[in-house]
Structure 1
Amino acid sequence: MSIVRPDRIKPEQEVKPPIFEHVIQSGITRESLIVLHETEGIGNATIRKIVDQGYQLLYPSLSDASKLREGEWRELGAKPEQASAIVASFRPDVLASRVQWHLKHEVQLVTYLDEGYPPLLREIADPPWVLYYKGNWKLTAQLCIGVVGTRLATAYGRKVAEELSARCANRLTIVSGLARGIDTAAHIGALRGEYGTIAVMASPINQCYPPENRQLYEQIAQKGLIVTEVAPGTKLHKGMFPMRNRIIAALSRGVIVVEAALKSGALITADLAMGYNRDVFIVPGPVTSPSSQGALDYFRQGAYPVLDESDIFFVYQHDIDINGSAAKEHSTKRLIGSEGEKLTPNEQLIYDILHNEPLSIDEIVDKSGMSFGHLHSVLLSLTIKRRIHQQPGSVYNVL
């Protein structure tokens, strides 16, 4: 029979991130987290339920999980079939085979309980409990920026993703998903930079997907970091890709969308980033291109336009050394736009209004008399022409 701690009974509430101290006080160990995570039929939500119950109950205790019986696992929140699978997973022969697998494939693990676990991942409601990796884990402690986009990238999108990632990687680490198209271009470019790249996979650590990126996978494992939360032996299915996207969004301080159609999976990452209070950046593309429609829509939601790496460095200027030697080495050639382009009458009007002081978009509407929709178009055009810059909070200033 379970015994509840009376001071830990809580009313029903929305799902919030686990409280780290509560996870510690649940009694669960690093080894037990790994066993639960690698048990077939046990997902993140079940582990969360077990940890929450472990925190609230005096008995049964998770401190010696290997000795718990099926009935005790059920009291901790597992379903009957899950409880049976968990008990089987704690058998010594099963534990030994798992350790051997990790050693054979040269895989390392970080759990939610470990000191090296990325703090940004602890901020989300469904953090990965276990991460498998190959490469340089220290990259997760750097300032990371996600770069995502369509798998069906245009030549323009691939070129911009590769070059922008290469330039940004001189000051920060690029995170992407090792998918075809924009992801691939971003990783290739970032490998040229000092701060490298992190590939977050939707497949087990030993299974490169897509297969044609195997050589890129090996390069990243040597020079960057490959990471996944997917347990060994798990069959790849489409639900794993949104799960992967949440890690990209959470691990990054901001996410750059290079190209994305209206139904692109990259928009899931952008939506998650906004939900996690991360910055979202959009590379402007042709308004007539289907590959740009989904990304361009984020300008209406206050996303930052990105024309080259300086737009990223400006936002994070207090977190990176923008005057360091690596920063001086990058090309001064603009990726998009030109400062010498002539202004239209409406653009000149807005430019003159902003000349004296930075203004919010509401203040610009009042001073200019333009409709919001028309003004938004003018502001975007001025930004692309490198005449103004958007600050946090949709405040604009002249350059």
Structure 2
Amino acid sequence: MEERWILLGLYEMEGIGKKSISKLIEGGHLLQEMFLYDEGDWIAAGMRRDQAARLAKCFDVNWVESRRQHVYDRGIEVITYLDSNYPILMKETPQPPWIMYARGDIQLLHQPSIAMVGTRMPTVYGRKVAEKLAEQLSQAGLTVVSGLARGIDRVCHESVLRANGKTIAVFGTGIDCCVYPPENRGLAEQIAEKGLLLSEYPLGTKARQGLFPERNRIIAGLTLGTLVVEADVRSGSLITADAALEAGRDVFAVPGPITSPKSRGAHNLIRQGAKMVTCADDLLEEYRLDLQNVEQLPYNRERSPEKLDLAERSWFPKVERTADENRVIVLLEQEELTVDQLIDRLGWDFGHLHSVLLSLIIKKQIRQLPGTKYARV
């Protein structure tokens, strides 16, 4: 049996989550051998007793075949981390999904794309801006990726479809029958026919707290950058922007009226170094050369961006740094440092340091490591 299907069967086993699978794979356990494991073997592999008991009882060839047939019967395509057609940019993120379920044109996963996100309750201004930018970006050759939520997400998907462009909707539920919000069910069907529906959650997964913020990392991870159209300071869109930064991607933001609370989150991003977008060309100029030569996009490179010389990373914009940013760069070029170590060496307060670090992350000059450490890119 193919390993990709064994991985699917393991992924869909009740009580076995992404972290459990990571523990098994990183522990050197071979998928083909897992059919032979008894309860003791599963415990030795790091599973809890309840997980081990369930796996020993249910995880076999018949279970895996039943899960494969389940998705096949519903016309769903499965993309696993082991597949050659797994999106390269997604694989390079800190938490790539082990499994993704898809309906529609999966080739869009390998085309240049941009994420567009924003508030679920946009102003008239926000709607008009989102509609116009989505149309222009799609006509320029970018696939627009969003989350099928109310508000800005929906406006962007609809605008792209009207312009005969391509769009991807990333679900925070299963993609078979659990469209959320329900009023977007018709829009989801249109996207399935002309674009792509995508989710990391097994079929039948219903909406619940925590799933939507988690899926935002996929919206950001699939794309060259994330454009925040309209967002308050507590908007979920800022989670997508944070995920983009964590993945080393560009962050853009649309300015709005200074009297509008709906623009405060976007204004904060701009203040911290995100590129301001007032028209499609503000964003397109960062990628225009690569869009004219799709073979040179990071989607189609054999090497990952992190392994490339900075001079080769032509899809990243050139940036200027402040004096304080240069002081941080000098320290991080020598070694990886924690926040506390940086405060000790620089003599700054936490607020100022955090602002400088965030700006450098946005400019792709440094990256955050586990344990609040920072390193030079």
| Whole-Å separation in 2 of the counterparts to 1:359 and 1:225 | 34
Matched, 1:163 2:137: no
| CA displacement, residues 30-81 of structure 1 (integer Å, 9 cap, x when unaligned) | 12210111111111111100101125xxxxx433322221211222221111
Equivalent residues in 2 for 1:311-326, closer than 5 Å: 311-321=282-292
Equivalent residues in 2 for 1:1-399, closer than 5 Å: 29-54=3-28, 61-170=30-139, 171-193=141-163, 195-206=165-176, 207-321=178-292, 360=320, 362=322
| CA displacement, residues 67-110 of structure 1 (integer Å, 9 cap, x when unaligned) | 22121122222111112222344245533432332123211100
Indicate conservation of the 8 Å contact 1:249/1:273, yes or no. Answer: yes
Unmatched segments (≥5 aa) in structure 2:
294-317, 324-362, 366-377
Bigger Rg over Cα: 1
1:153 counterpart letter in structure 2 = P
| Whole-Å separation in 2 of the counterparts to 1:225 and 1:113 | 21
Q: Bigger CA drift: 304-313 or 98-107?
A: 98-107
Q: 1:89 to 1:294 in 2, by over 3 A?
A: farther
Indicate conservation of the 8 Å contact 2:38/2:56, yes or no. Answer: yes
Q: Bigger CA drift: 73-82 or 261-270?
A: 73-82
Unmatched segments (≥5 aa) in structure 1:
1-26, 56-60, 323-357, 364-391, 395-399
Q: 1:194 to 1:233 in 2, by over 3 A?
A: closer
Indicate conservation of the 8 Å contact 1:54/1:62, yes or no. Answer: no
| Whole-Å separation in 1 of the counterparts to 2:319 and 2:110 | 35
Q: 1:265 to 1:98 in 2, by over 3 A?
A: same
| Whole-Å separation in 1 of the counterparts to 2:254 and 2:115 | 13
Q: 1:90 to 1:261 in 2, by over 3 A?
A: same
Q: 1:264 to 1:31 in 2, by over 3 A?
A: same
Q: 1:256 to 1:101 in 2, by over 3 A?
A: same
The DSSP-based 3-state class of the residue aligned with 1:174 is strand
Q: 1:100 to 1:304 in 2, by over 3 A?
A: same
| Whole-Å separation in 1 of the counterparts to 2:26 and 2:57 | 22
| CA displacement, residues 221-255 of structure 1 (integer Å, 9 cap, x when unaligned) | 00000000001233421111111100011111100
Q: How many residues are paired up?
A: 301
1:320 counterpart letter in structure 2 = L
| Whole-Å separation in 2 of the counterparts to 1:100 and 1:361 | 54
| CA displacement, residues 232-281 of structure 1 (integer Å, 9 cap, x when unaligned) | 23342111111110001111110000011111111000111112111111
- TM-score w.r.t. the length of structure 2 is 0.75
Q: 1:393 to 1:65 in 2, by over 3 A?
A: closer
C-alpha root-mean-square deviation of aligned residues, in Å?
Answer: 2.4
Indicate conservation of the 8 Å contact 1:28/1:51, yes or no. Answer: no
| CA displacement, residues 336-366 of structure 1 (integer Å, 9 cap, x when unaligned) | xxxxxxxxxxxxxxxxxxxxxx994759xxx
Q: 1:78 to 1:362 in 2, by over 3 A?
A: closer
The DSSP-based 3-state class of the residue aligned with 1:54 is coil
| Whole-Å separation in 1 of the counterparts to 2:6 and 2:131 | 41
Indicate conservation of the 8 Å contact 1:38/1:231, yes or no. Answer: yes
Indicate conservation of the 8 Å contact 2:143/2:165, yes or no. Answer: yes
| Whole-Å separation in 1 of the counterparts to 2:58 and 2:136 | 46
